[in-house]
């Protein structure tokens, strides 16, 4: 523009009566704003597309768009890479959903955006920090409903054996109870939510018709349901079964059966029905040591589950173990850094440093020569005859 090229001195001759224009960088007058509005347009369009695909209420779109606007105007997002800016729209939709307790997982958004989860995670965390957004935790109850929607076992189909088809409401209700149980027994805190739901859905489905379904594995179940099997789901399943077995040990009339991981599934209904009591009897408070309660065998006969449940004061079967997160029950052996010793604490930072100590880190002239030679060999092995490699490379 003329503004940029006309030197200040000539201003007066060109336009003597008007104020002199000051030189301004292009980016400050036009360029920056143009780029910003292009980014903003792209961001808004992305938000709109996502809201349409996810079939979100209209108010979500308005909120997400306002977040995108705020984010792009924030100095920390001005200069991030285009790759990151692409994800901002998705992040804003994700935050909006969470704030409305709409159970959208990061996995879902990432797959919709074809985004790497690490990159999405970093943009999301920055967004949360810079805009000071408070994002409530994912509601597991809502996640169960949404996740089970994608399962394919609620309607008859050619490739699904008839006994495998199940009533959706029943599965949802029981899965919710199992997920709640998992939450109460520390299986949920700090873990990925979806594998827990998958494992719980499997157990719930199995327990509704154990006769025909006990033989079906978790992997086959997911395949039939056309659902991904996330790797942690196997571990979550194992942990759930352990909890259920402990609970079963508190039902006098079940102790006779010597239940194992397979057979306990048949009794999940009963266990869930009495879970509050069973958890209390099976597990002592976290801070108590494992206790071996004095035996007072339950008087109930098999069949009168109610009697057994109310009868027992102190369970006799098995020791009560503290109800703790698995990471505390099975701690992985880790190198504990020793507490600083007295000599460590006495370090002042101003200690004398001996020459000898420093010299141990320096190469002698011979060593430098040898190292140089080795470097040359390594750099261009093809140009040197093979005998060289034998002599200089130690």
Partner 1 sequence: MSPYDVDFPIQTTEDVLFGSQFNQPKELPTDFSSVDLSFLPDITQENKAQNLFEDGHEMQKELDGSTSNEDSSILTDESILAYPDATQATPEASGGCPPLTPIAPMTPVTPASESSGIVPQLQNIVSTVNLACKLDLKNIALRARNAEYNPKRFAAVIMRIREPRTTALIFSSGKMVCTGAKSEEQSRLAARKYARVVQKLGFPAKFLDFKIQNMVGSCDVMFPIRLEGLVLTHQQFSSYEPELFPGLIYRMVKPRIVLLIFVSGKVVLTGAKERSEIYEAFESIYPILKGFKKAS
Reading the block at residue 104, the tokens are: 């959208």
Cα dist. 40→70, 76, 86, 96 in Å?
10, 15, 10, 18
Q: Which residues have C-beta within 8 Å of that of residue 312, sequence separation ≥ 6?
A: 250, 252, 281, 296, 298
Q: How far is the CB of 183 from partner 1 (least distance, A)?
A: 8
Q: Which residues have C-beta within 8 Å of that of residue 206, sequence separation ≥ 6?
A: 213, 214, 216, 221, 265
Q: In DSSP terms, which residues pair with 291 in a beta bridge?
A: 320
Cβ closest to partner 1, residue 191 vs residue 267:
191
Cβ closest to partner 1, residue 169 vs residue 351:
351
Angle of helix 232-248 versus helix 168-184 axis, rounded to 10:
80
Neighbouring C-alpha atoms within 13 Å toward the C-beta of 230: 17
Distance CA(221)–CA(266), nearest Å, equals 17
Site track 224-263 with partner 1 (rule: CB under 8 A), x = hit: ----------------------------------------
Q: Which of 9, 285, 356, 387 binds partner 1 (CB under 8 A)?
A: 285
Distance CA(256)–CA(267), nearest Å, equals 13
Of 88-107, binders to partner 1 (CB under 8 A) are 105-107
Q: Which of 358, 379, 390, 394 binds partner 1 (CB under 8 A)?
A: 358
H or E stretch covering 284: strand 283-284
Of 147-206, binders to partner 1 (CB under 8 A) are 183, 186, 188-193
Site track 320-349 with partner 1 (rule: CB under 8 A), x = hit: ---xxx-xx--------x-xx---xxxxxx
Q: Which of 129, 220, 261, 262 binds partner 1 (CB under 8 A)?
A: 129
Cβ closest to partner 1, residue 9 vs residue 285:
285
Q: Which of 20, 54, 119, 138 binds partner 1 (CB under 8 A)?
A: 138
- Given the rule CB under 8 A, which residues bind partner 1? 105-107, 117, 121, 124-125, 128-129, 132, 134-138, 183, 186, 188-193, 279-280, 283, 285-287, 323-325, 327-328, 337, 339-340, 344-353, 355, 357-363, 367-368, 371-372
């Amino acid at each position: 523009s003329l503004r940029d090229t006309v030197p200040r001195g000539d201003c007066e001759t060109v336009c003597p009566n008007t104020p002199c224009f000051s030189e301004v960088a292009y980016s400050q007058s036009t360029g920056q704003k143009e780029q910003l509005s292009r980014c903003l347009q792209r961001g808004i369009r992305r938000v709109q597309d996502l809201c349409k695909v996810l079939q979100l209420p209209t108010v979500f779109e308005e909120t997400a768009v306002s977040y995108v606007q705020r984010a792009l105007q924030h100095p920390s997002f001005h200069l991030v890479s285009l790759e990151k800016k692409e994800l901002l729209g998705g992040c804003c939709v994700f935050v909006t959903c969470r704030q409305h307790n709409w159970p959208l997982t990061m996995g879902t958004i990432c797959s919709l955006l074809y985004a790497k989860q690490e990159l999405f995670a970093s943009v999301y965390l920055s967004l949360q920090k810079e805009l000071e957004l408070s994002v409530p935790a994912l509601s597991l109850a809502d996640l169960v409903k949404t996740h089970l929607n994608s399962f394919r076992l609620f309607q008859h189909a050619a490739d699904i054996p008839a006994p495998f088809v199940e009533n959706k409401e029943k599965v949802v209700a029981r899965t919710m109870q199992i997920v709640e149980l998992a939450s109460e027994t520390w299986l949920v805190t700090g873990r990925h939510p979806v594998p827990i739901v998958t494992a719980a859905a499997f157990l719930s489905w199995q327990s509704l018709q154990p006769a025909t379904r006990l033989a079906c594995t978790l992997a086959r179940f997911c395949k039939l349901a056309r659902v991904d099997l996330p790797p942690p789901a196997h571990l979550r399943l194992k942990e759930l079964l352990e909890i259920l077995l402990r609970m079963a040990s508190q039902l006098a009339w079940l102790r006779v059966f010597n239940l194992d991981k397979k057979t306990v599934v048949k009794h999940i209904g009963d266990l869930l029905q009495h879970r509050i009591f069973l958890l209390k009897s099976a597990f002592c408070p976290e801070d108590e040591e494992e206790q071996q309660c004095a035996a007072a065998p339950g008087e109930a006969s098999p069949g009168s589950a109610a009697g057994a449940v109310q009868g027992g004061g102190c369970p006799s079967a098995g020791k009560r173990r503290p109800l703790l997160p698995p990471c505390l029950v099975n701690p992985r052996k880790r190198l504990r850094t020793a507490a600083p010793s007295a000599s460590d604490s006495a370090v002042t930072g101003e200690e004398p440093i001996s020459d000898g100590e420093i010299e141990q880190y320096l190469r002698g002239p011979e060593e430098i020569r040898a190292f140089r030679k080795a470097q040359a060999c390594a750099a261009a092995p093809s140009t040197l005859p093979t005998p060289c490699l034998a002599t200089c490379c130690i």
